[in-house]
């Protein structure tokens, strides 16, 4: 399709909604926009959550990418003006006029696309979970640091008022020393018909959808939302909602720079169907310094009528935090709490996307920076590895290796496929 110049883009995008303008000099760099220029975003993956991000940035969007032509058509309509479309995300990264990218592709793409975006000099907002393997997360951390990129992961619970209230309450010792956190979530679904394997429809580039993942035949019950129910792609609710709930746990307890030392998972495999994530599941994470046990349970014990959340148990009291994503909630005692003048006051986010944009301006780390997100994703990944191997893992959180278990260590990485690897 015909390409739109930067001048044409700027002229065409004076829509009813005022565009984001960054202060003087923020983006000025060799080969990049200068002072007082508009932030131009590229969007990789525009179905599902990607469509919501595109809606938020539609007046800044300079290009959109998706392997599904139906998604691309809907994206152009959402933007409401001519915008360049691509099937291969690498064309977006080649664009010198794209300042930042929003990665909302399926989970198995997050690591590769974020690393490549950092290498191309783009700041990144990437959907959760951060990565599909431990190796990918490590590569993301290195790339963000090496290329000086701002990377925010979309575990937006940290940017909610309720999570901030819970974090303030807990960090100020209002329930004493927290010794145990019990998370609950409903079970993974059962389904997927192997008999539907066959050729992909003409509007879908199946090879690019797979990208770094091992090749498997197309099945309509494998793609789009349903990728979540495959251990190789989405990893089930522990990697989907777990990336929300466990993000809030680590933030509230100031554990972003630590990890468990032992991970023990049990679960029941699905009785039938194509989807292979366990139906019920329980993962126990043991931390040292401080002594802490975190339990992820599907379904677990629901203390209230909420689909998922966590109960924090301390030496003096307890605190309930429901949800963990944008729908986070907590008890009135936390919502109404004001810390003393010499107490702990955690950073209060203006909003998850807004925090990312502010950090693009200041070059400070965002609230859900890639280092913290890698720690959260590691917990989710290790839970699934322990389930698959049916044994506990002794985890070294400093060197990020399983102690004395080379079979488990082989599962910390994915060799990728073709050019798509970290």
**pLDDT band (50, 70, 90) for residue 2:** very low
- Taken in order of first residue, the domains within the chain and their CATH numbers are 6-157 (3.40.50.720), 161-342+370-410 (3.30.360.10)
* pLDDT tens string 102-152: 999 999 999 999 999 999 999 999 999 999 999 999 999 999 999 999 999
Asked if residues 43 and 89 have their Cβ atoms less than 8 Å apart, the reply is: no
In whole angstroms, give the CA distance from residue 239 to residue 107.
9
Asked if residues 179 and 291 have their Cβ atoms less than 8 Å apart, the reply is: yes
3-12, long-range: CB < 8 A, 24+ apart: 3/84, 4/62, 4/82, 4/83, 4/84, 6/40, 6/97, 9/40, 9/62, 9/97, 10/38, 12/81, 12/82
Q: How large is the average pLDDT for residues 368-372?
A: 98
Q: How large is the average pLDDT for residues 80-99?
A: 97
* pLDDT tens string 224-264: 999 999 999 999 999 999 999 999 999 999 999 999 999 99
Residue 213 pLDDT greater than 90, yes or no:
yes
Residue 28 pLDDT greater than 70, yes or no:
no
Tokens of 131: 């990565």
Residue 8 pLDDT greater than 90, yes or no:
no
* pLDDT tens string 152-175: 999 999 999 999 999 999 999 999
| Residue 300 CA neighbour count, 13 Å, CB half | 27
CA end-to-end span of the chain = 30
Dihedral (CA of 372, 187, 157, 26) sign:
positive
In whole angstroms, give the CA distance from residue 40 to residue 99.
5
Helix ranges, 204-292 (H): 206-210, 237-240, 242-252
SS (H, E, C) 39-63: CCEEEECCCCHHHHHHHHCCCCEEE
**Based on the number of CB atoms within 10 Å of its own CB, is 166 exposed (0-12), middle (13-18) or buried (19 or more)?**
buried
Candidates 381, 355, 420, 296; CA nearest to 163 is 355
Q: Which residues pair with 281 in a beta bridge?
A: 267, 298
């Amino acid at each position: 399709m015909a390409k739109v110049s930067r001048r044409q883009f700027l002229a065409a995008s004076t829509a009813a909604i005022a565009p984001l303008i960054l202060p003087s000099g923020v983006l000025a760099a060799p080969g990049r926009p200068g002072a007082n220029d508009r932030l131009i975003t590229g969007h990789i993956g525009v179905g599902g959550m990607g469509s919501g991000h595109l809606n938020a940035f539609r007046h800044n969007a300079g290009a959109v990418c998706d392997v599904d032509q139906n998604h691309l058509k809907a994206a152009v309509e959402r933007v409401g003006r001519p915008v360049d479309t691509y099937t291969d995300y690498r064309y977006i990264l080649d664009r010198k006029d794209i300042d930042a990218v929003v990665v909302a592709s399926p989970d198995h793409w997050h690591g590769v696309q974020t690393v490549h975006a950092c290498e191309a000099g783009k700041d990144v907002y990437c959907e959760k979970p951060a990565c599909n393997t431990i190796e990918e997360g490590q590569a993301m951390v290195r790339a963000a640091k090496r290329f000086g990129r701002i990377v925010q992961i979309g575990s937006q619970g940290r940017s909610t008022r309720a999570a901030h209230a819970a974090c303030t309450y807990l960090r100020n010792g209002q329930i004493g020393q927290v010794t145990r956190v019990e998370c609950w979530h409903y079970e993974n679904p059962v389904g997927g018909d192997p008999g539907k394997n066959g050729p992909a429809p003409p509007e879908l580039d199946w090879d690019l959808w797979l990208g770094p993942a091992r090749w498997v035949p197309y099945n309509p019950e494998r793609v789009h939302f349903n990728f979540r129910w495959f251990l190789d792609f989405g990893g089930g609710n522990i990697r989907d909602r777990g990336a929300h709930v466990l993000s809030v746990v680590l933030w509230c307890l100031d554990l972003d720079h630590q990890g468990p030392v032992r991970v023990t998972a049990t679960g029941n495999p699905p009785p039938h169907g194509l989807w292979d994530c366990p139906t019920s599941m329980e993962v126990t994470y043991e931390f040292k310094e401080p002594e802490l046990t975190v339990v992820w349970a599907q379904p677990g014990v629901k203390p209230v009528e909420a689909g998922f959340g966590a109960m924090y148990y301390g030496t003096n009291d307890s605190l309930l935090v429901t949800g963990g994503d944008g729908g986070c909630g907590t008890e009135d005692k936390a919502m109404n709490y004001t810390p003393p003048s010499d107490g702990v006051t955690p950073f209060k986010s203006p909003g998850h996307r807004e925090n990312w944009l502010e950090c693009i301006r200041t070059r400070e780390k965002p609230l859900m920076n890639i280092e913290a997100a890698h720690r959260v994703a590691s917990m989710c990944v290790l839970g699934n590895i322990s389930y698959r191997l049916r044994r506990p893992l002794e985890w070294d959180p400093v060197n990020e290796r399983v102690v004395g278990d080379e079979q488990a260590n082989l599962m910390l990485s994915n060799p990728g496929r073709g050019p798509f690897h970290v």
